[in-house]
Structure 1
C-alpha cells in the first residue's frame, strides 16, 4: 500500500469573516465552504488534496479562493472529496478488510497498514486511524490474500512475539512527507527533518549554534495532545520522536545533508565580526576642560589628564638664633649697661 502523506497542518488561527489579505481565507472557513469537518480538512491538506499558503501576516496558513473554486468544480464534489479523506479506526478497518480486530492490529504492527493520524483517549491509550482508501487498496491487492486468511507466516509471528510495532515509525514517515511537501525553503525542509529527532541528536549533527537557531525558527509545530507537560503530551512527544536506532541514523544523515544544502544556498545569519561593528562617533573638538580624547581599540574614550609631579615645597630659611636678631641684641646690651651702673 502507499505510504504517502501525512502529518498535521497546525493552523490554529482566528477566523475572520472578512480579511484584508484578499484572495485567501482561514482554514476553518475553507472547511465549511468545502463541506468538510475540520479534522477531515486537515487530512486533505496533509494528503496534498488542498493547497494552502503561508500567511504573510504571521497568522498560520490560509487557503486561496482559487483553490476552493478548483475543488468545488471537481466531478463528484463533495462526496468524492469526503471519501478520499475518510479515516477509520481498528473496528471499522477490520470490517473493511473482513478480518478480526486482532488480525487487523497484527497487520498494522507489522507495518503493512500505515496509520494516517493518531489521538489519545481518556485512558491515554493511542488510537490509530487509517485512510479507508488505503485499506481497500490493500484488501484488493491479490498479493495480500494470504495475510488476510489462514495462519500468519512464522517469521511474522516471531517479530510480533518480540514486540515489533511499526505504527509510530510509519506515522512519522508519513508526517515527514507531508512537511516536506508543503515547502521548498531549504532551511524549512531541514527543520522538518530535525523535528523528528531528539534535541541531543540535532545538537550533535548541527554543531553551529546559529544554524541550530535557524532550524528552531523554521521548526514546524507538532500536533497538540493534552496540555503542555501533561502525561498525554509527554506520550505524544515520544510517539513523534524517532526511537529506532536505524531510523535515528537515517534521519541524522538526512539532517546533515539538508543543512549542508541549506548552508550552501543561504548561510544562517550570524553577528558581524567585532571589527566591523558600528563605532561611536568621534568626540567634538572642544572637549571639556581638563579632559582629552585618546584612541583605544574600541574607539575614542574620555581620559583624565596625566598627573603632573607636584614640586617640593621651598626649603625653610635657615633658622637664626634669637639672640642674633638686631632688636633683641640691642635690648640685651642695654640691660647689661643698666645692671653695671
Structure 2
C-alpha cells in the first residue's frame, strides 16, 4: 500500500465517537473492541488521537451477526458474574484467577479502594469447554501442585493484565520510540534510570511513556495502588521487559536519536593588540544608559 493510499484512507476516517455510532456500539464497547484489536485504528493526521477508516467500518459491519455478535465477544464480567458463567463458587473462581488460568481485561477501584478485575465472558465460557480443565472446575479439592502455589500466595492477575495491556499499547505504536515508551510504562523509574543513564534519552523516552489507564488524584492512595498494578514486580517479568526495552531503544536510536540542546560555540576574542570594549551593562540600568546616550 503506497503512502498516498494510506494518506487518503486516513483522511476518509471517523473519530472514535462517530465510528462507534456508525458501528451501532456504545462508546465503552467501541473502546474495548479497539483495546482487544477487534477494531483497527489509524493515527489522526492532526495528532489528535486515533481514527477508524471507512474500510474498517465496512469490514466490521460485514461480520456475521453484527453488532450483536461483537457485543457478545465484548461482554465483561466481574468475579460474581464470572463464577455464574463458569458455574463454580466465588472462592474457586478467585483461586483460578489468581493462578492466572484466565486473564483480566480491565480493572477499576471501588469506593473502598479494592481492585475489581473484569474478564471477558467469552473466554470464561471457552475455559469450561476444555476437557483438561474439568478437574479444576469440579474436583472437591484442587490438585496438590495447585494448592501449593495458592498457599505460597501466588496471584498472577495483575501480571496477566499487564501482558494484555502491553500488547494493546504495542499495537498502537507507530514508531520505535513509541514502542520503547510502551515497554517502559511497566518498569519502575529507578529501573528505567539504570537502563537509560543518559538524561536526554530518558527525558525523550518519558514523552512516549503512556499513563495508566485508570485515573486518580496524583499522590493519592488510589494513585499509588494503580501505579503498583501497572509496575512489574516479578523478577522474570522485569528481566524480560528490560531486555525488550534495550532492543527497542537500539531501534529508536537508529531511527532518530533523542534530541539534545544545541551547543553554542563561544565567540572568538578581538584581534591581538586591539582594545577590548567593555560589555554594556544589562537589565534596567543598561537600558537607561543606552536611552540617555
Higher mean displacement: 206-215 or 121-130: 206-215
Q: TM-score, normalised by structure 2?
A: 0.84
What is the alpha-carbon distance in structure 1 between the residues aligned to residue 132 and residue 276 of structure 2? 88
Matched length:
267
Report deviation, 1:31: 1.8
Q: Does 1:294 align with 2:283?
A: no
2:183 corresponds to which of 188, 193, 197: 193
Report deviation, 1:192: 0.4
- 8 Å CA contact retained: 2:212, 2:226: no
2:208 corresponds to which of 218, 221, 240: 218
Distance 1:38 1:230, change over 3 A: farther
Q: Which has the higher contact order (CA 8 A, sep 6+)?
A: 1
Tell me the equivalent position of 1:44.
33
Report deviation, 1:255: 1.0
- 8 Å CA contact retained: 2:270, 2:276: yes
Cα deviation code 1:147-202 (max 9, x no counterpart): 11111012211221221110000000111111112224111111100010111111
What is the alpha-carbon distance in structure 2 between the residues aligned to residue 302 and residue 146 of structure 1? 95
Tell me the equivalent position of 2:246.
256
Distance 1:103 1:274, change over 3 A: same
Higher relative helix content = 2
Tell me the equivalent position of 1:18.
none
What is the alpha-carbon distance in structure 2 between the residues aligned to residue 61 and residue 222 of structure 1? 18
Tell me the equivalent position of 1:152.
142
Kindly report the root-mean-square deviation, in angstroms, between the aligned alpha carbons of the 2 structures.
Answer: 2.3
Report deviation, 1:268: 2.0
What is the alpha-carbon distance in structure 1 between the residues aligned to residue 270 and residue 250 of structure 2? 46
Larger radius of gyration: 1
* Consecutive unaligned residues in structure 2, runs of 5 or more: 1-9, 279-293
Higher mean displacement: 100-109 or 259-268: 259-268
Q: Does 1:303 align with 2:279?
A: no
